[in-house]
Amino acid sequence: MFINPENPEEEKIKIAAGVIRSNGVIIYPTDTVYGIGCDICSAEGVERIFRIKHRGEKPLSVAFSDLDMLRKFVVLPPEHEEFIKKHLDEPCTFIVKKTGKIPDAVTAGLDAVGVRIPDHRVVKELIKASGVPIITTSANISGRKAPKAVDEIDDEVRELVDLIVDSGVCRIGVPSRVIDLATHKVLRV
């Protein structure tokens, strides 16, 4: 399903949000690369993503629509919030301490989680319409190249999701940088 990245069609956003709310798994665009996602509280969806990616028990990251939503799910000291605000327009995933609202299955039992607020209107509208944060991990089999366009997604991945949201080529085209806010170390450039 194509959704206009400049002016997302409300009806199409509602359809995609409905898939997420009913434990579905979707492929969707971000500012960096196409992602696979589901409701973070859908044990079934999270397990499917691990199987689709052949990922094992490595932690997954979570996408939020905005800082207000993020604050409800993680521990965000003022200095971490300020750092995130300064870098919101950059392709970054921030490692922060999670609260009990993020299931252990998402973080492989760790007390920290990778969080993003993607700079892409479609995914932000989708998260808002879903009413929940969603898993954000590249739409590829683990170890393979992350897709910047729908036509770069492996058929094996495409066949195992409930919906593909196409909004053209992702602006940045490479996965986000990962920054651990507890140690201030860049874990992935």
What residue segments make up the domains of the chain, in order of their start? 10-188
pLDDT at residue 189, rounded to an integer:
62
pLDDT at residue 184, rounded to an integer:
79
CA nearest to 70, candidates 27, 117, 4: 117
Domain spanning 10-188: CATH 3.90.76.10: no
- In tens, the pLDDT along 70-101 reads 999 999 999 999 999 999 989 999 999 999 99
Give dist(CA 146, CA 90) in Å, integer.
18
pTM, entire model = 0.93
pLDDT at residue 5, rounded to an integer:
93
Give dist(CA 16, CA 25) in Å, integer.
10
pLDDT at residue 57, rounded to an integer:
79
Residues whose CB falls within 8 Å of the CB of residue 138, separated by 6 or more in sequence, listed in order: 33, 34, 35, 36, 146, 147, 175
Residues of the chain with pLDDT under 50: none
> Within 10 A of 47 (CB to CB), how many other CB atoms are there?
13
